[in-house]
Amino acid sequence: MNALTREYFQQWMETYGRASAENDPQASANLFAQDARYYESPFDEPMVGRDAIYEYWSKGAQTLKEKAASFEILAVNGDTGIARWQSKFTVIESGKRLALDCLFVVEFNNDGLCQTFREWWHIQENLVA
């Protein structure tokens, strides 16, 4: 991939959202390079590699239900896309309804796969369904 386009990033984010909504950890993992780095928090060490990302998504997918999400592309420059991600879901174990408001910074490799994924998020608890 010469340079990331807004259209490609839009498609990537739509696929990311669909994989999340359908609790499909394999579809999620397939968006990432074999040696990708996934930072769930800027203060934690990244998950490294597609297998680790698959495991992360596999565990998370089984703990949530009633998911809804939307996103907005904020910028595309070079090999990097920035998006705002908003989601709501219910945690199965506690029954709590939560909302996330996130910022994603997604860097792509030449094959169009995510090489580095960074997210920052805030959570709101005790939503009324």
Domains of the chain, by residue range, sit at 6-124
Q: From CA 57, how far away is CA 113, in angstroms rounded?
A: 17
Backbone angles phi, psi at 46, to 5 degrees: -75, 155
pLDDT of residue 42 exceeding 90: no
Burial readout 5-14 (b: 16 or more C-beta within 10 A, e: otherwise): eeeebeebbe
Query: Class for domain 6-124, per CATH?
Result: alpha beta
Mean pLDDT throughout 56-64?
Answer: 85
User: pLDDT band at residue 31, thresholds of 50, 70 and 90?
Assistant: very high
pLDDT of residue 129 exceeding 60: no
The whole-number pLDDT of residue 61 equals: 72
Q: From CA 32, how far away is CA 97, in angstroms rounded?
A: 29
What SS3 class is residue 24?
coil
Q: Are 108 and 1 in contact (CB under 8 A)?
A: yes
Of 67 and 114, the structure prediction assigns the larger pLDDT to: 114
Mean pLDDT throughout 1-16?
Answer: 94
